[in-house]
Chains A and B, each alone.
Chain A
Amino acid sequence: TAGITQAPTSQILAAGRSMTLRCTQDMRHNAMYWYRQDLGLGLRLIHYSNTAGTTGKGEVPDGYSVSRANTDDFPLTLASAVPSQTSVYFCASSTSGRASDTQYFGPGTRLTVL
């Protein structure tokens, strides 16, 4: 199985443009998460969803929006990109959103905002 996939792999985006990062999982996991990782730092939670139809804010939600129309997909949208959103973005999923659940991460999207 593919597990969890992200697209695009990398992108250069002009400031002020919008962009949607895609994330799809085929493990039928209920919970999904978006993190950003800046150079030399840990991952910071942007938004999460414990089940289709629900979303919540993480540590750094400003400037980002998400939707969860179905179990498999969890797109992340930047409505008007700014240079500080240059980062590597990781999507993750887990079985049910329990604290003890293993989170499975996608390969990441490297985004540069100029």
Chain B
Amino acid sequence: GQSLEQPSEVTAVEGAIVQINCTYQTSGFYGLSWYQQHDGGAPTFLSYNALDGLEETGRFSSFLSRSDSYGYLLLQELQMKDSASYFCAVALQGGKLIFGQGTELSVKP
């Protein structure tokens, strides 16, 4: 079967750096994606890692270690608008995504 684990909630202050970890057990792994969801609205894509290493996109970076079945999302220079739920998702053949249960990030002033 497929399973992913990520912390249920994280709290940080504006301007800080926060890391959201994700571990997974899966077969047929192609890559690890991250999505953001504000207040139950439409999830939006943040990043995708197929190979080991760090991918940087502005204030957000994502890391993958395939040998450790582990990845993380790093958010820098936190802003209030970053308060949201963050989901890691294993990408399988055919573009199918298996999502974790999400991490609720609260950014405090």
Contact = CB atoms under 8 A, between A and B. Distances in A.
Interface of A: 31, 33, 35, 37, 40-45, 48, 50, 56, 58-59, 88, 90, 94, 96-108
B95 A43 contact: no
A88 B91 contact: no
B40 interface: yes
Interface of B: 2, 4, 30-31, 40-45, 48, 50, 87, 89, 91-102
Most buried by B among A42, A43, A90, A103: A42
A101 B99 CA distance: 15
A90 B43 contact: yes
Contacts of A99: 30-31, 50, 91-95
Nearest to B29: A99
Nearest to A41: B101
A44 B43 CA distance: 13
B8 to A, nearest CB: 8
B43 to A, nearest CB: 5
Given A43-B99, A59-B98, A108-B41, 13 more contacts: A33-B96, A40-B102, A41-B102, A43-B97, A56-B94, A59-B2, A99-B30, A100-B30, A100-B50, A102-B48, A103-B95, A103-B97, A104-B45
Contacts of A44: 99
Given A41-B101, A48-B95, A108 B45 contact: no
B52 to A, nearest CB: 15
Contacts of A90: 42-43
Contacts of B95: 31, 33, 48, 50, 94, 96-99, 101, 103
Contacts of B99: 35, 42-44
A4 B93 CA distance: 23
A97 B90 CA distance: 14
A37 B43 CA distance: 11
A48 B31 CA distance: 18
Contacts of B89: 42-43
